[in-house]
A and B are shown apart, each in its own frame.
Chain A
């Protein structure tokens, strides 16, 4: 199993979440985060904003579903045709075990 952590623009959360659930990934956890990227934040005039609000989506999927989920996020989190800096990042990390508390089962 793999955990996909996607950091995306807050205004893209709606479309990404609805497309994910249409694409067969209903289970998602979302949290507010602040961060900066390689561009060192956003410079407006003399002020540099290096803590830009973003949303982090956390999805745990079976190995074979990883590409599907990432494709859906990539497609919908982009701004415009060309995409722009700040559209976000996706990280994938391994998950050893999963437990569902209500049933105690260790399957996704």
Chain B
């Protein structure tokens, strides 16, 4: 049994959920997280928007609240984190589905971690192991 933890873009969650469902993996937990990756993010254009730079035309549809949240503090970017626990032989399919849906070829597409899970219990019946998945 293994757990797939995928950190993906906020707006890709619905597509990813649909694709996983199509492949037969309806069960997942999702969480909103903040994070940063290896690559430095260029926040200068957001700062320009905040300072009311005439050059930027994206001003209309970018909320100043979001821009501020992005530039202040630790400069973490909002992401979605999915967690799926599945049998060992299903892991490859899940990883492939997530990669194929989310891959735009740009930094920030996300990361996938695969971790071992020792046991699993279904609260309703008390079943353990792969039966409870």
Give the interface of A toward B (CB within 8 A).
3, 13-14, 17-18, 21, 26-31, 58, 60, 93-104
Known: A29-B81, A31-B34. A102 touches B103 (CB 8 A): yes
Question: Is B115 touching A3 in the complex (CB atoms < 8 A)?
Answer: yes
Interface centre among A3, A60, A93, A100 (most CB of B within 10 A): A100
**A95 pairs with B74, CB closer than 8 A:** no
Q: Identify which of residues 39-94 in chain B touch chain A, using a CB-to-CB cut-off of 8 Å.
A: 39-40, 73-74, 76, 79, 81, 91
What chain B residues lie within 8 Å of A100 (beta carbons)?
109-112
Name the contact of A13 in the complex, choosing from B74, B81, B91 (C-beta under 8 A).
B74
A96–B115 contact, CB under 8 A? yes
In the complex, what residues of B have CB within 8 A of residue A3's CB?
113, 115
A to B CB contacts below 8 Å, 6 in the list: A13-B74, A26-B40, A31-B31, A60-B111, A101-B98, A102-B105
Knowing A98-B112, A98-B113, A102-B103, the reply to whether A31 touches B33 (Cβ < 8 A) is yes
Chain B residues closer than 8 Å to A95, beta-carbon distance: 113-115
Contacts beyond the supplied A3-B113, A27-B36, A101-B99: 5 A-B pairs with Cβ under 8 Å: A13-B74, A26-B37, A27-B35, A99-B112, A101-B112
Let me know if B124 is at the binding interface, CB within 8 A: no
Contact A28 B2 (CB under 8 A): no
Tell me the complex Cα distance, A79–B48, Å.
37
- Select the residue from A17, A18, A93, A97 with max chain B CB neighbours within 10 A: A97
Determine how close the nearest CB of chain A comes to the CB of B34; give it in whole angstroms.
5
Interface contact B103-A101, CB-CB below 8 Å? yes
Q: Which of B95, B104, B105 interacts with A99 by CB under 8 Å?
A: B95
Q: B8 an interface residue at 8 Å Cβ cutoff?
A: yes
Q: Which one, A26, A31, A101, contacts B111 given CB within 8 A? A: A101
CB contacts (< 8 Å) of B74 on chain A: these are: 13-14, 17-18, 30
Interchain CA distance A100-B102 in the complex, whole Å: 10
**Which residues in A have their C-beta under 8 angstroms from that of B8?**
101
Q: With A13-B74, A101-B103, A102-B106 in contact, is A28–B111 under 8 Å at CB?
A: no
